[in-house]
Amino acid sequence: MKELEYPFDSGYIMKKKKSLRRQLTLDTEGFQKKRIAVLGGSTTADIVKVLELFLLDNGIEPEFYESEYGQYRQDALFPNSELDRFKPDIIYIHTSFRNLSFRPTPRMSAQQIEEGLENETDGLRQIWDSLKERFGCPVIQNNFELPPYRLLGNTDAWDRRGAVNFVTRLNMRIYEEIEKRDGLYLNDINWLSADYGLEKWTAPEYWYMYKYCLNIDAIPVLAFNIATIIKAIFGRNKKALALDLDNTLWGGIVGDDGVEALAIGQETAEAMGFYQWQEYVKSLKDIGVLLTVCSKNEEENAIAGLEHPEGVLRPDDFTVIKANWLPKSQNIIETAAEINILPEAIVLADDNPAERDIVRAEGIVAPDIGEVNDYIRVIDRSGFFEPVGLSEDDLRRSEMYRENALRKQAQSKYQSYEDYLAAMDMKAEIGPFPAVYIQRLSQLANKSNQFNVTTRRYTPSEMESVAQSPDYITLYGKLADKFGDNGVVSEVIGRVEGETLHIDLWLMSCRVLKRDMEFAMLDELVRACRERGISCVIGYYYPTAKNKMVRELFGTFGFDKISEDEEGNAVWKLDIKDYVNKNHVIAVNA
């Protein structure tokens, strides 16, 4: 919804909450349903209402549990039948500087202050440990904004008796805990309040009158940031940035002005703006964002512009380059097909408002990026690519997709597809979930929508639990070939009931489609079942708007369909007694 895209009008959102919600709930088919517990150290009623809007806008239909005013600690540490019955999928702890039980004073000793710091940190640890033990779901924790006044003036920052110093060190303790804990995430209100303006953010009248720890007008800023984290945890991030060229990556029109006249580099203010924008775009590759070109241009001119000696980006920084005179919506759809993602996973950055409107009609996000000085701010603060953890696969994603392009080129050299697969020298590593891959496996489960028969989502804690349970069989799969390593690309979770295994999750990354990896996984699953005395495997297919490609997956495996309802939910069965291995082109665990 345009009204909820960054940069948004906070006042408008606060006034129109009800009407915006009515529009957003007209059609929620295909939305992820999530139970969200909000444990507040201050009033949270409007925060919850606005958070719901941003989540709905990201395809998540939330149900909320909201703690009573200031009862966040009690709800976290002590039995609560209502919260226990609610069984949250995610918990947000809304605390602020006003919830600190300890604050240093100039008369305190260094030891007293250190004890106060440790007590505050330990109180948070107790909350996180208790919530993990009781619910095992992701927890989002606020850090602390700086105090609204400085008793010691500038000395407050470096003197341990200063409140600014204390908050800064407490925040560092929180970061250290988050770094070593799976399933704990940061909502950075320290940065948000600084960006918004600390004086406006902490407006005391809202605390005195309503017990809101922030300015009511800042609630959409806070809620948008929380929603960005939640949608990232549940796999709703965008995956690629499609870039127009003329007046988007550089100033000027390469076909008319020539390469030498383009504004890019260090000579003018405009050129420097485009140079810094290109630096930012290139850095997105380091967090796993795929870069593509979508430009109305001659390809020869586009390549010449990308080879400008003062530019930062080069043609090989892009996974796909579409420089032609076709409609941009068509180019984006074709780009998505080439790299095996959905068109709605692509963001278009284009300076032309008309082009943005056309692609929006096709369900593709195209933010109003304004002038070049605004480009970085708009893309960065929109949270399209919010990382919740960086894996080795994230760091190598662009390289992996470029290797896929080489695979497609190589395919044309062989007379048959079977010959091509045999020549790929594919090697797979398949086995039970190891601890080192839990984070990546959870990330993959939350991101994979197309080749995913049940689209169940798992937090790292849930992944860890099934990996350690004797009631489950788990398999992860890595695939490499002569062009490179694809990393972790597939996972299976099966629940054991007597001599039957029920498939709770079966998914694969679309970047290894048609490589027979699914057959290699099936062979290993059958082998693991036989070792456990399991004779029958039951597979389930639950249709969504995005996973039609696997509707007949179990049929291709040799399963028999035993039931299917009018909505397409199907149950399949395989008797493994006479099963014969189906993978003949991938060397497994060699």
Is residue 247 located within the same domain as residue 228?
A: no
Q: Is the pLDDT of residue 395 over 80?
A: no
Mean pLDDT of 212-237: 95
In whole angstroms, give the CA distance from residue 42 to residue 194: 20
pLDDT at position 175 is 97
* Structure confidence at residue 411 as a pLDDT band (50, 70, 90): low
Mean pLDDT of 248-259: 93
Please report, for the domain that includes residue 79, its CATH number: 3.40.50.1110
Domain count for the chain: 3
Is residue 103 located within the same domain as residue 181?
A: yes
Q: 233, 268, 300: which is the final residue of a domain?
A: 233
Is residue 186 located within the same domain as residue 311?
A: no
- Mean pLDDT over each residue of the chain, to the nearest integer: 93
* Structure confidence at residue 187 as a pLDDT band (50, 70, 90): very high
In whole angstroms, give the CA distance from residue 318 to residue 328: 17
Please report, for the domain that includes residue 526, its CATH number: 3.40.630.30
Q: Three-class SS of residue 240? A: strand
* Structure confidence at residue 406 as a pLDDT band (50, 70, 90): low
* % residues pLDDT > 90 (the chain): 79
Is residue 456 within 8 A of residue 504, CB to CB? The reply is yes
Query: How, if at all, do strands 500-508 and 484-497 pair?
Result: antiparallel
Q: Is residue 536 part of a domain?
A: yes
Is residue 276 located within the same domain as residue 297?
A: yes
Q: 355, 381, 407: which is the final residue of a domain?
A: 381
Q: Is residue 259 part of a domain?
A: yes
258 sits in the region (left: phi over 0; alpha: psi -120 to 50; else beta) called left
Is residue 52 located within the same domain as residue 74?
A: yes
* Structure confidence at residue 544 as a pLDDT band (50, 70, 90): confident
Query: How, if at all, do strands 426-431 and 472-481 pair?
Result: antiparallel
Is residue 11 located within the same domain as residue 134?
A: yes
Q: Give all strands (DSSP E) within 512-590, no chain letters.
A: 536-541, 560-564, 570-575, 586-588
Is residue 420 located within the same domain as residue 495?
A: yes
Q: Is residue 405 part of a domain?
A: no
Q: Is residue 122 part of a domain?
A: yes
pLDDT at position 300 is 94
Q: Inter-axis angle of helices 328-338 and 353-360, to 10 degrees?
A: 60
Is residue 145 located within the same domain as residue 228?
A: yes
In whole angstroms, give the CA distance from residue 58 to residue 52: 10
Q: Is residue 387 part of a domain?
A: no
Please report, for the domain that includes residue 299, its CATH number: 3.40.50.1000
Is residue 203 located within the same domain as residue 254?
A: no
- Per-residue pLDDT reduced to its tens digit, 72-129: 999 999 999 999 999 999 999 999 999 999 999 999 999 999 999 999 999 999 999 9
**Host domain of residue 67:** 2-233
Q: Is the pLDDT of residue 135 over 90?
A: yes
Q: Is residue 441 part of a domain?
A: yes
**Which residue from 440, 341, 334 is spatially nearest to 390, judged by alpha carbons?**
440
Is residue 85 located within the same domain as residue 55?
A: yes
Q: Is residue 399 part of a domain?
A: no
Mean pLDDT of 55-64: 96
Is residue 484 located within the same domain as residue 534?
A: yes
Q: Give all strands (DSSP E) within 446-581, no chain letters.
A: 472-481, 484-497, 500-508, 536-541, 560-564, 570-575
- Per-residue pLDDT reduced to its tens digit, 275-295: 999 999 999 999 989 999 999
Is residue 449 within 8 A of residue 342, CB to CB? The reply is yes
Q: 233, 248, 263: which is the final residue of a domain?
A: 233
- Is this prediction's pTM over 0.85? no
Largest Cα span, the chain: 84
Q: Is residue 403 part of a domain?
A: no
- Per-residue pLDDT reduced to its tens digit, 348-392: 999 999 999 999 998 999 999 999 999 999 999 999 999 987 667
Paired tokens of 145 = 């904004």
* Structure confidence at residue 405 as a pLDDT band (50, 70, 90): low
- Per-residue pLDDT reduced to its tens digit, 468-486: 999 999 999 999 988 888 8
As a dihedral over the C-alpha atoms of residue 128, residue 474, residue 289, residue 479, rounded to 10 degrees, the angle is 150
pLDDT at position 409 is 65
Q: Could you tell me which residues come within 8 angstroms of residue 163 by beta carbon, excluding any fewer than 6 positions away?
A: 103, 104, 147, 150, 151, 156
pLDDT at position 381 is 96
**Which residue from 345, 289, 282 is spatially nearest to 316, judged by alpha carbons?**
282
Is residue 524 located within the same domain as residue 543?
A: yes
Is residue 152 within 8 A of residue 160, CB to CB? The reply is no
